Amino acid sequence: FRFVKFSMPSIPDFETLFSQVQLFISTCNGEHIRYATDTFAGLCHQLTNALVERKQPLRGISILRQAIDKMQMNTNQLTSIHADLCQV
């Protein structure tokens, strides 16, 4: 659902979508996320792209750090979300 919204050429209400994704990432259960890492990483990637396109990449730093914390099994593990963090 959120992928479809992020992939739209012009997101009608980006601020609402941004807030929903931010809330989801901050409140989701890390154990559950690890069962759907591709989908979770895809959501983070779409968020990164949307922020970069809007020239607002700094808004993604704290959200992506939270996402990485949720997805990692230990602090030495690199995830695909690290690449998104480097972009912002």
| Average pLDDT of span 64-70 | 97
Q: How confident is the model at residue 1 (pLDDT cuts 50, 70, 90)?
A: very low
DSSP alpha helix (H) spans, 1-88: 2-7, 14-27, 30-33, 37-53, 61-71, 81-87
Residue bearing tokens 């919204």: 5
pLDDT at res. 56: 94
Is the model's pLDDT at 33 over the cut of 80? Answer: yes
| Average pLDDT of span 79-85 | 96
Is the model's pLDDT at 2 over the cut of 60? Answer: no
How far is Cα 37 from Cα 22, in angstroms, rounded to an integer? 17
Half-sphere exposure of 82 (CA within 13 A, CB side): 8
pLDDT at res. 13: 82
